[in-house]
């Protein structure tokens, strides 16, 4: 990567970390205008910055308003970068239908939305139900659209059990053998994916797309 674009990526990181909302959006526009790949900007600029804000929050050096400001700045950058990400359609034919959301009690949506955009770019039809989604809503949408895959995101250790509950609800409604389930989110592991009865674990957005493709093959 040449000097100027990497400077922009660094500046976006700083803007996200410092919670400079307008600047983050503006820099994201500049990054795209200078021909940078949106996924690189997200992964090398925005994600390390929001993770650093999370670390500072965990050790008490950032308070909640500062973490919220960082998240808002990240969302401002993502509002510019995500449409560009979705436009990078690698394949034209629809690979499958995915119902996606963050489980009930959890309002973290940044990672889940990246996963949705990447799945969309890869050729999946994505129904993103948003955050704090009750199990019944997931199940109803799976039924309504005849989903091939259900993606459940959880960012809190306290909301991970909701993933298992949604899978149990699918079984209760007789839909478990009709849809594959992928779980993901920062505290989620391969081991948890097995324990909660999911079909697959997506460590990050790229791997989520890879496993989604494998599951529909
Ligand atoms: Co929150 N938060 N937060 N937070 N937050 C964490 C998760 C935390 C680890 C921070 C910390 O203490 N270090 C901690 C959880 C601790 C725990 O559970 N053990 C925490 C806490 C405690 C909280 C609150 C309880 C704080 C409070 O109120 N006292 C509160 C909870 C609110 C709630 O949900 N009910 C809260 C609130 C918030 C904000 C609103 C301020 C904001 C969210 C804003 C938003 O999303 N709109 C926020 C943020 C930003 C974070 C951190 C800093 C960053 C999350 C993020 O966006 N990461 C986070 C710390 C961290 O993760 N390091 C933290 C970037 C994103 C690209 O990564 O989401 O991991 P991620 O997604 C990745 C992969 O995980 C994967 O792919 C994505 C892309 O690579 N992936 C999937 C995600 N979903 C997937 C689904 C898949 C497959 C892959 O298949 C379906």
One domain for residues 106 and 77: no
- Rounded to an integer, the average pLDDT of 193-202 is 98
Residue 38 in contact with ligand 1 by CB distance below 6 A? no
pLDDT at 117: 87
What CATH number is attached to the domain comprising 10? 1.10.1240.10
pLDDT (tens digit per residue) in 32-55:
999 999 999 998 999 999 999 989
pLDDT at 135: 98
What is the C-alpha separation between 90 and 45, in angstroms, rounded?
Answer: 23
Domain count, the chain: 2
pLDDT at 89: 64
Expressed in angstroms and rounded, the spacing between residue 92 Cα and the centre of ligand 1 is 32
Q: Output 1 or 128, whichever has higher pLDDT.
A: 128
One domain for residues 127 and 171: yes
Domain boundary residue, one of 87, 109, 140:
87
pLDDT (tens digit per residue) in 107-139:
999 999 999 988 987 889 999 999 999 999 999
pLDDT at 181: 98
Exposed/middle/buried for 65, CB within 10 Å: 0-12, 13-18, 19+?
exposed
Which residue's CA is minimally distant from atom 68 of ligand 1? Answer: 111
User: Edge-to-edge strand order for the sheet containing 149-153?
Assistant: 124-128, 96-102, 149-153, 180-184, 200-202
Range of the domain at 143: 97-215
pLDDT at 86: 82
Residue 72 in contact with ligand 1 by CB distance below 6 A? no
Domain boundary residue, one of 59, 87, 115:
87
With respect to residue 92, please indicate whether it lies within any of the assigned structural domains.
no
Res 140 pLDDT > 50: yes
Assign 90 a pLDDT band (cuts: 50, 70, 90). Answer: low
Res 2 pLDDT > 70: no
| Helix locations, 106-204, DSSP H | 110-122, 135-145, 160-172, 190-195
Res 71 pLDDT > 50: yes
Res 4 pLDDT > 80: no
pLDDT (tens digit per residue) in 152-186:
999 999 999 999 999 999 999 999 999 999 999 99
Compute the mean pLDDT over every residue in the chain, rounded to the nearest whole number: 93
The minimum-distance atom of ligand 1 relative to the CA of 51 is 63
What CATH number is attached to the domain comprising 130? 3.40.50.280
Assign 6 a pLDDT band (cuts: 50, 70, 90). Answer: confident
- Rounded to an integer, the average pLDDT of 49-77 is 93
């Amino acid at each position: 990567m040449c000097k100027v674009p990497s400077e922009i990526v660094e500046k976006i990181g700083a803007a996200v970390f410092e919670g400079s909302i307008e600047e983050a959006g503006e820099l994201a526009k500049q990054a795209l205008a200078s021909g940078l790949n949106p996924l690189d900007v997200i992964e090398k600029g925005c994600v390390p910055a929001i993770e650093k804000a999370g670390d500072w929050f965990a050790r008490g050096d950032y308070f909640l308003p500062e973490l919220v400001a960082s998240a808002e700045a990240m969302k401002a950058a993502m509002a510019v970068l995500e449409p560009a990400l979705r436009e990078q359609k690698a394949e034209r034919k629809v690979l499958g239908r995915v119902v996606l959301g963050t489980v009930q009690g959890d309002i973290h949506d940044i990672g889940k939305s990246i996963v949705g955009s990447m799945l969309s770019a890869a050729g999946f039809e994505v129904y993103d139900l948003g955050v704090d989604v009750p199990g019944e809503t997931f199940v109803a949408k799976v039924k309504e659209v005849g989903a091939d895959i259900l993606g459940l995101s959880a960012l809190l250790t306290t909301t991970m059990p909701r993933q298992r509950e949604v899978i149990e609800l699918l079984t209760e409604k007789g839909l478990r053998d009709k849809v594959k389930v992928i779980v993901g989110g920062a505290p989620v592991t391969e081991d948890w994916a097995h324990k909660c009865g999911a079909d697959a674990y997506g460590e990050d957005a790229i791997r989520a797309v890879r496993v989604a493709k494998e599951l529909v093959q």
